[in-house]
Structure 1
């Protein structure tokens, strides 16, 4: 499923504006104004694709008549050398849009690729891999879409779509039970409530106020297992904090429901993609 152009296009246009600057592409101006060029976008490494709409919107922002044929879709696993898109467009426009299109495609495909690695690492355990709000400013919707294309699930999108009570909220409110009780009193019937705890002895206080989710922050594997037994299905349990590809399988095998991984968006390496003359 693609994001609406209404969400993606402003990001693409902002990035194009940043690149074109005050004078436009002074190098592309060397090319005859009416020249057309056929090119292809291809993966240079194995990965998972996300962000193809960014390619379309970047090219067509500068050449609305550009002809673009996609050979892959967001969410597809691809190998090095696979063609993702074929483009015929005004040569100046295509070369001016190239870096913006590839930057966004590579960034988002990198997020999808890393997410797929985490999802595959926990396959068969029942645990789901979720992202966080540790996203690139301005790219949150696109990066969270990329997580979904990699097989992960999205945590809250912002401060307004779920209540997440963290350690500092608890400190100000005077304890876990007080914080969750206040949240329950003010939340609408559609608003989810999650509370973060960092010690096992806080779990019963949290569960007493019936939150929807309890985040177990930086728990040891032994304490994660104890928390799963103690909660006994009374709330969704989310493990978080310092999760890596090397540790995620063991975390999933404790029985937690969700594992949130900030690295999906703050540390994913871009997938190497390129644009070259059509073969």
Structure 2
């Protein structure tokens, strides 16, 4: 494998299950690449270059490497850039040479991964640049594709953003439906405090909810769908007692104004939910 490690993510399992899906392992007639096996001689060799047709922030190259090495352990592979690098259109990302069948079988899984993760990293880099505020941190959300959260949040970091909570387990986030059941913001926060939760993020969408949430023990306030003027008022009321986060209605047209209100964080769901895939190709030549 590539030597790539990521906490909470099993690269070997991901590669094995992704290739198994593409090869139809376990399905009637499945378990092989029928096109490559019928057209390409078993001993044929290819060399290839993976390149970006877009200007991108790169993410996912070590995972692509793992796909190729899983099918051809002896493949010769050279990384020309690193994850997190920002490259111009036309940049070569990786050179590889090895068994032609193995390279063709791994190609789609490798490209899908790099295209998707680089698309996320590129969008994040664009948002960070549009935000233009080193005192405010761009965060992702839990709006991720099921099964890909660790990789997508990794891509956010490669683009220059940071991660919000990883899931339902590492912080409480009290939202309107929790408040509806508890009765009010203060009671919802108190219940989380009494349960021993250390990090309690409380969503507020009205100014009058701020003090009850803080008095009850919230450790961070998510200021939801507030315009810049209201955000400034909210930040002044909080007065540094806990970190503040702006969320909702944030896009490339609004992020700079909202980040400039004094909030510590801005969270954007579309970073993982709606990032378009980067245009990355892989061209082979017989050896």
TM-score bucket (shorter structure): over 0.9
* Coordinate RMSD, CA, aligned: 1.7
Which consecutive residues of structure 2, in runs of 5 or more, have no partner in the other structure? 25-29
Q: Which of 167, 177, 180 does residue 176 from structure 2 map onto?
A: 167
- Equivalence for 2:27: none
Report whether the alignment pairs 1:58 with 2:67.
yes
Deviation digits for residues 203-226 of structure 1 (CA, Å, limit 9, x no counterpart): 111111231110011112111010
- Equivalence for 1:243: 250
The count of aligned residue pairs is 277
Q: Tell me the secondary structure at the aligned position of residue 34 of structure 2.
A: coil
Q: Give the C-alpha shift of residue 125 in structure 1.
A: 5.0
Which consecutive residues of structure 1, in runs of 5 or more, have no partner in the other structure? none
Deviation digits for residues 15-72 of structure 1 (CA, Å, limit 9, x no counterpart): 2111112141111111110111110111110010001122111111111111111001
Q: Give the C-alpha shift of residue 123 in structure 1.
A: 2.2
Task: Summarize the Cα distance change of 1:2–1:242 in structure 2 as closer, same or farther, 3 Å threshold.
Answer: farther
- Equivalence for 2:139: 130
Q: Give the C-alpha shift of residue 3 in structure 1.
A: 3.5
Q: Give the C-alpha shift of residue 2 in structure 1.
A: 5.1
Task: Summarize the Cα distance change of 1:216–1:255 in structure 2 as closer, same or farther, 3 Å threshold.
Answer: same
TM-score, structure 1 as length reference:
0.95
- Equivalence for 1:16: 19
How far apart in 2 are the matches of 1:102 and 1:231? Answer: 46
CA contact (8 A) 2:55 2:87 kept: yes
- Equivalence for 2:118: 109
CA contact (8 A) 2:133 2:259 kept: no
Report whether the alignment pairs 1:27 with 2:35.
yes
Q: Which of 190, 205, 210 does residue 198 from structure 1 map onto?
A: 205
- Equivalence for 2:10: 7
Pairs within 5 Å for 1:1-279: 3-4=5-6, 7-21=10-24, 22-29=30-37, 30-188=39-197, 191-277=198-284
Q: Tell me the secondary structure at the aligned position of residue 116 of structure 2.
A: helix
Task: Summarize the Cα distance change of 1:278–1:253 in structure 2 as closer, same or farther, 3 Å threshold.
Answer: farther
Q: Tell me the secondary structure at the aligned position of residue 129 of structure 1.
A: strand
CA contact (8 A) 1:50 1:149 kept: yes
- 4+ long deviations beyond 3 Å: 1-6
TM-score, structure 2 as length reference:
0.93
Question: Which stretch of structure 1 is more off in the superposition, 138-147 or 66-75?
Answer: 66-75
